[in-house]
Amino acid sequence: MSIPGLGQAAPAAAFSAPILEAPVAVHELQANSEWRFEVEIGEKIDVKILSGTAEIFGTELAVNHLYTFRGVKSSIYTWHGCRIEVTGTCEEYTAEETPMTQYVNTHFALEKLRDEAAQNGREGPRVLVVGPTNAGKTSLVKLLTAYSLRMGRQPMVINTDSREGLLSIPGSLTATPFASIIDVEQGWGSSPTSTSSPIPVKLPLCYYYGLPSPEDNTKLYKPIITRLALASTSRLTDDPAIKATGMIIDTPGVISQGKGGFDLISHIVSEFSVNTVLVIGSERLHSEMLRKFSTYRTSTGETITLVKLDKSGGCVDRDETFTHQTNEAAIKEYFFGNARTTLSPHTQTIGYDDLLIYKIREGIYLISAPIVDPSLHSIAHANSFLPGGVEETEQGLFEKVEPNPSMQHCILAVMYATVNDSQDAVRDASVMGFVYVAEVDETKRRLRVLQPMSTRITDRPLIWGSWPEAAVSLVG
């Protein structure tokens, strides 16, 4: 099957096959029940609400409007009952026991804090969501964001999980102010780094980490988190609506599943001055967090409120195959658009000597973790070492590399920096955009890249990470 925009020649002749109509099913959902569905990558279903009220992760669905879902695992919840029509095939079932009451009560508690913040001119709650992998953290963040939007709020949503992109491709860490409805068909919606949409685009601030786990290079991850927090806090200060609403911060599950991860959680809590922590799906993690933060004080002297929430039974494990497929779909959408909008990317051939490419070093750990002193709210800086006892500062965060065949089909981040900037300045810079390496010609020492628009990139440093992994060939 050809992908629009790739320029394949049309076949000389084609034989028409009979068109098979997709099966249509109508479901009657009772009050406080949830219809859960999984659509395979490359497949789609159409859903229409015939009567009643329903929502997807807090965003209300319009009656008699056709919604199309492709390659997703999601659910539709109804508080009062509804009737839905489904066209297409998917794995599905209806659940009557859900933690939605807990989640909506959490939303109302946050709303009370936001009202108090608006009245007193203070900043709204800074909410951190932690829990194991596949516990439903991102779904909870999306639900709390959607409910706050329905109340007229403007939350700042922070994504610190590089395995999943939020309004950007995977490998990115983003901060996004939300002021308009979430596009349920697109996941979070669209942005200038993805494609156009009838729903207003969001404007994320994007930083590039380029590795799948924060523990792959803590020396790189921590400063990026610090830079992300600084930019987010500045935006809160400048916008009264966002200031009163506060932040909702999503985290990678890996940092909640080991003792080494608590150092990273402490770093996020410290940098964002988190005052509310939602622990989802883990009694042990909640107990550990209570012990660690019971006497902790934020930079403004606030205590931390910890709330334990149940994991939804609709959470499913996403294997590596599904993750790889969703990453490839996100990359294709970035360059070529989606079923609703077709984009036309540009190709450019560049000489080796005209490019500055940094490769992210992996395996840089903090052996002596920073120690958080709750009474003094201070972080003692520790020495960092590479495996084998090699001093980390001797090698730097990035390795300057020349294009090579292993770079083919990979993604490079184009940074808002200059080729003369230091590695620290490049690390702290935000992302200008991404390019895809279509071809590496060692004989002619040339690199052919695919980019969203025709613009000069030779005056910018490019960063090559291992995440997202190399995609299938996008250019014939």
- Do 211 and 185 lie in one domain? The reply is yes
Query: Residue 457: pLDDT above 90?
Result: yes
Q: Is residue 5 part of a domain?
A: no
The answer to whether residue 183 is domain-embedded is yes
* Structure-token pair, residue 126: 């800074």
Q: Quick one: 250 and 115 in the same domain?
A: yes
* Shared-domain flag, residues 414 and 282: no
d(CA 326, CA 102): 30
Which has the higher per-residue pLDDT, 364 or 33? Answer: 33
Residue 283 belongs to some domain of the structure = yes
Same domain, 91 and 116: no
For 89-113, how does the pLDDT look when each residue is reduced to its tens digit (9 = 90+)? 999 999 999 999 999 999 999 999 9
pLDDT at residue number 388: 40
Confidence band of 476 (pLDDT split at 50, 70, 90):
low
Domain hosting residue 386, numbered range: 334-464
Contact 73, 9 (CB under 8 A): no
C-alpha to C-alpha distance for 181 and 190, rounded to whole angstroms: 11
- Written as six digits, the tokens of 50 are 């015939």
User: What's the pLDDT band for 198 if we cut at 50, 70, 90?
Assistant: low
**Which residue spans within 140-260 are E strands per DSSP?**
156-159, 172-177, 205-208, 247-250
Indicate if 52 and 163 belong to the same structural domain.
no
Q: How many CB atoms lie within 10 A of CB 273?
A: 17
Instruction: Please report, for residues 38, 258, 317, 389, the alpha-carbon distance to residue 381 in angstroms, rounded to integers and kept in the order given.
Output: 46, 21, 37, 18
The reply to whether 180 falls in a domain is yes
Rounded percentage of the chain residues whose pLDDT exceeds 70: 86
The three-state DSSP-derived secondary structure of 310-339 is: CCCCCCCCCCHHHHHHHHHHHHHHHHHECC
Residues 403 and 381 in one domain: yes
Going by C-alpha positions, the residue among 75, 90, 68, 38 that lies closest to residue 338 is 68
Question: In CATH, what number is assigned to the domain containing residue 139?
Answer: 3.40.50.300
The last residue of a domain, from among 309, 324, 349:
309
Please give the Cα distance from 314 to 301 (Å, whole number): 38
User: What's the gap between Cα 345 and its chain centre?
Assistant: 23
**3-state class (DSSP) for residue 238:** helix
- Residues 281-306 have a mean pLDDT of 89
Known binding-site residues equal 34, 73, 134-139
User: Which residues fall within 8 angstroms of residue 179, CB to CB, at 6 or more apart?
Assistant: 149, 154, 200, 241
Q: What is the DSSP letter of 450?
A: E
| Alpha-carbon gap, residue 223 to 169, rounded angstroms | 20
Tell me whether residue 166 is in a domain.
yes
Residue 365 pLDDT: 55
Count of C-beta atoms within a 10 Å radius of residue 292: 18
Domains held by the chain: number: 3
| Alpha-carbon span 206 to 225, nearest angstrom | 11
Calculate Rg over the CA atoms of the chain: 23
Look over the chain and give the mean of its residue pLDDT values, rounded to a whole number: 86
CATH code at 353?
A: 2.40.30.330
Mean pLDDT, rounded, for 179-185: 89
Q: Which of 417, 400, 416, 393 is nearest to 464 (CA)?
A: 400
Q: Which of 310-314, 332-336, 369-373, 401-405 shows the lowest mean pLDDT across its residues? A: 369-373
473 vs 476: CA distance, rounded Å:
7
Asked, for residue 9, whether it belongs to a domain, the answer is no
Looking at the fold, whether 123 and 240 belong to one and the same domain comes out as: yes
Confidence of residue 443 (pLDDT cuts 50, 70, 90): very high
Q: CB of 421 within 8 A of CB of 461?
A: yes
Residue that finishes a domain, picked among 63, 98, 133: 98
Q: How confident is the model at residue 16 (pLDDT cuts 50, 70, 90)?
A: low
Q: Where do runs of H (alpha helix) occur along 137-185?
A: 137-150
Residue where one domain finishes, among candidates 82, 98, 114: 98
**CA proximity to 23, closest of 4, 53, 46:** 46
Same domain, 79 and 106: no
Please tell me whether residues 398 and 355 are part of one structural domain.
yes
- Are 84 and 177 within one domain? no
What distances in angstroms separate CA 403 from CA 283, 339, 445, one per listed residue?
Answer: 48, 33, 8
Q: Is residue 415 located within the same domain as residue 458?
A: yes
**Residues 93 and 104 occupy one common structural domain:** no
Tokens of 362: 């992996």
Q: Could you tell me where the beta strands, DSSP code E, fall in 192-343?
A: 205-208, 247-250, 276-280, 305-309
In a domain, 456, yes or no: yes
In a domain, 137, yes or no: yes
- Binding-site members for ATP are 34, 73, 134-139
Q: Which of 25, 46, 33 is nearest to 81 (CA)?
A: 33
Task: Say if strands 156-159 and 172-177 run parallel, antiparallel, or are unpaired.
Answer: antiparallel
For 194, phi and psi rounded to 5 degrees? Answer: -125, -95
In this predicted structure, what is the pLDDT of residue 395?
A: 66
What confidence tens digit (pLDDT) does each residue in 323-376 have?
888 888 889 989 988 777 788 899 999 999 999 999 999 876 543 344 344 433
Backbone angles phi, psi at 108, to 5 degrees: -65, -35
Question: Cis peptide leading into 155, omega within 30 of 0?
Answer: no
Name the residue type at position 77: Y
> Any idea what the Cα angle at residue 208 is, between residues 207 and 211, rounded to 5°?
145
Domain CATH code at residue 33 = 2.60.120.1030
Query: Which residues does 20 contact at the CB level (< 8 Å), separation at least 6?
Result: none
Q: What is the mean pLDDT of residues 23-28?
A: 94
Q: Predicted confidence band at 277 (pLDDT cuts at 50, 70, 90)?
A: very high
